[in-house]
Copies of this chain bind each other. A is one copy, B any other.
């Protein structure tokens, strides 16, 4: 970081503009003369309309797509909150680079690149082909004992995301997706959800990768204690991210903000990604208009955050893998809406009679 911590963030937040209503009407007017009953493609039409508004282009084309999969470790993973050992974070980073993980398969299916970012893994990968190294922390500290990160570190995590969004925008990427890997990271996500939505911890805490009833009880207590210990200020999203968050969650917040500032639509994956998106929207509510919620995760806090943000997920397929898998799949549906808009014949072109209704 060459500039003072927060300058990039503040500048980028100020670049986020509201969507143009006129463009939305223009897009809907075209959708309404295509050979189908008006509105009959439901949310596909909504996606097309919003893509026109977001990009500011009358005929947008989402050629290059990227999923940003941020990896980070969590001190709290040592407190028995996950079914998997912490080493899995670094092992999965290698799996991402090798192309064998769920996100690789689904991103290939969707025609998207996967950008794997070490933003906070507790391991030195050295120089590794394909890995984007932007390490802000080597794992967060245990939130049971104090803040996960310093305020400056939290800001830096968001700025890493913003800088990647700027960079990929310049390289011609037209659609972003968010993803993450970090053993233990449903714990900070539930903590963020509880603090910002004001709901009880037990209501927004789930089984993550698959813990037992007993571990779920203990995980809930860990989160309750972490919130007591750190007293994050619900009105200050950076404070929440620093005290009970995680590096990859900050990176995701940055992609949301950077996407919005560059007029690039962002597909937000599941629970952890949505916790990042929530931080972004708390910093600047207009960011929300640039986001698509990919799917409703099994993780029970997800619904609460989505409701708080007013986002409606595209899928509900009982998924809970993270990595950006839901975002990759949702990209195919969002693109379907755009293709409808771009490629369908009009009533006039096709010589089809319109509704008499």
Residues of A within 8 A of B (CB): 34-44, 83-85, 87-88, 91-92, 94-95, 98, 100-102, 104-106, 108-109, 209-212, 215, 298, 314-321, 325, 329, 332-333, 335-336, 339-340, 343-345, 349-357
In the complex, what distance in Å separates the CA atom of A113 from the CA atom of B230?
58
Q: List 6 A-B contacts (CB under 8 A).
A: A42-B318, A91-B353, A102-B344, A105-B339, A109-B339, A211-B357
Kindly identify which residue among B101, B317, B355 contacts A44, using a CB–CB cutoff of 8 Å.
B317
**Residues of chain B within 8 A of A43, CB atoms compared:** 317-319
B357 touches A85 (CB 8 A): no
In the complex, what distance in Å separates the CA atom of A232 from the CA atom of B43?
37
**Residues of chain B within 8 A of A104, CB atoms compared:** 343
A95 touches B336 (CB 8 A): no
A357 touches B314 (CB 8 A): no
- Min distance, Cβ A292 to any Cβ of chain B, angstroms: 12
B84 touches A37 (CB 8 A): yes
In the complex, what distance in Å separates the CA atom of A205 from the CA atom of B204?
39
**Residues of chain B within 8 A of A332, CB atoms compared:** 109, 332-333, 336
**Residues of chain B within 8 A of A317, CB atoms compared:** 42-44, 314, 333
**Residues of chain B within 8 A of A212, CB atoms compared:** 357
In the complex, what distance in Å separates the CA atom of A33 from the CA atom of B333?
29
In the complex, what distance in Å separates the CA atom of A356 from the CA atom of B51?
43
B356 touches A321 (CB 8 A): no
- Min distance, Cβ A35 to any Cβ of chain B, angstroms: 5
In the complex, what distance in Å separates the CA atom of A178 from the CA atom of B313?
26
